[in-house]
Structure 1
Amino acid sequence: MSTLTAGGDFSVEQPGPRRGGLVRWRLTGARWAGWSAVGLVAALTLVALLAPLLAPHSPIQPSGAPYLPVGSSGHLFGTDNIGRDIFSRVVLGIRTSWLMALVVVAVGLLIGGAVGVVAGALGGWIDSALMRITDMFLALPATLVAVAVAAAMGDGLFNTFLAITVVWWPYYARIVRGEIRSLAARPHVEAARMAGAGRLRIMRTHLLPGIYPTALVTASLDVGAVVTTLASLSFIGLGQSAPAPELGADTSRGMPELLAHWWIPVLPGLAVLLLSLVANLTGDAVRNLLPGRK
């Protein structure tokens, strides 16, 4: 910008790069953090898939003296009250919790997304009927319903999966239905409808591409919630049967040892915290990395 000095000379202010550089740094940092979170999720998934190879000992059979502390030779996380390697049990527990959470979210998104798309696109009595069924599930406390279903069906990994999935899909149905209704009211969709485009074409080209960012961010955030729900069910004895390694169950069984041998309940609990934290950070990362975000 030019300014007039007292002597009548013009001086030119050179635009400083500081602000623009700061904005670029912030944007670059945000995307770097986003990709870092996605990379951490990929690493956790790889650890879960390769858990049987990464575990140095059997998670079920004793492999050392009882109550070995953290950092003992051959037992990074120590051993429990009967000599089982805690590191091996935590790694196998991460496998169960992480893969289960991914499957629950994927199935819930598939079922709830399908219900939401049909209700939002067709409208009328179909929309009303599907949303009343969804509201019936949403009106019940999700955790209590999951506990009731799991208790009725008995312990076991598949029964726990069904118990959580039953209460998880209605949230996606509501979110997707709301997105569909919002997109359907936009001018370009109205123009396509007036131009003679059919329902399937409008849904494929105008509606479905618009709902996946919201659905993807919601699903990525829900992974952490499913991890904690699974840990809660196994903590109260509704997960896999002993002696199968599971983070919530191992934390619960180790609570009597908390004061004398803290690593037995604390390390599985910290693994639950890590999984939930990574999943929540990834929700923001996915939002920042989606198209349209610079």
Structure 2
Amino acid sequence: MIGQRVFLGLMLIGLAGPALAETRCSDVVPQARPQNTARDIVGADLDQIQERGWIEFAVYEDFPPWSWAENGKPRGVDIEIGRLIAESLGVKARFNLVAAGENLDADLRNWVWKGPVVGGRVANVMLHVPYDSTYACRVDQVVFTGQYHVEKVAIAYRTDAYPEEKPVPAYFRFDTVAVENDSISDFYLTSFPGGQLGGNIHRYPDMAAAMAGLAAGETKAAMGPLAQLEFGTAEGIGVHTPPLPGFGVGSWTVGVAVHFAYRPLAYAVDDAILTGIQDGRIARIFQTHGLTFSAPELR
């Protein structure tokens, strides 16, 4: 599940200056270098991409509102951000909708720096990659950059069930709540002090199904990433972001990943995203999809 992989993939990293990076990574042991790959650098540099006229992005399949296929065409926020990047580079955008692997390590290996064992190929850029400083130090085959949104965990609720006060996690000792199975919200509510929530947690295969269950009255509330809740809202459903006691990863930044050998490409992508934030184009992409945009701290 992509929700769980955000939890396992960790949060919040960005490009730092050399001195800061040295201090930040001083106590981290990097991954072992891959063997027998020195002559087999995969991907394409910025000049090659501009010469051929297109750039390929890896995006997650079946992941609304971020990326999904509809009538054979890619749709979603990440798709539009990919097109914004491509326009900045003067090329066309192509998208490879990929299945989420067991963890973020597997996805970066398959779609950024090495390639899958069977079928498929690396992309030039992978979108919707969560950031964490320690993780970035360890995975040195990848440049993590292009932060474009701060996502938060939120609660959606039926307004007829909560006409006055909006629900917080303590309410789910008595009220039912929908979550994506094995997601960050599932882990949080399951570990709520004393295991008090018990059978009130209703688990669904993904957040779209959880929100459909909420709309159908199967639960009184749903908990998950804000964008997915907002995208799944229906009449009579409200969404809010209450304080979440003891939640160490209640928000995180998402950005992009690029093969470490192609730093000029990483810098160009980062510039395109920064410009898109500053001139309002990325905010408009979120608005078009009915979502709240939360800009990362500008670099």
| Superposition TM-score, scaled by structure 2 size | 0.26
User: Could you say which structure has the larger radius of gyration?
Assistant: 1
> Higher strand proportion, which one?
2
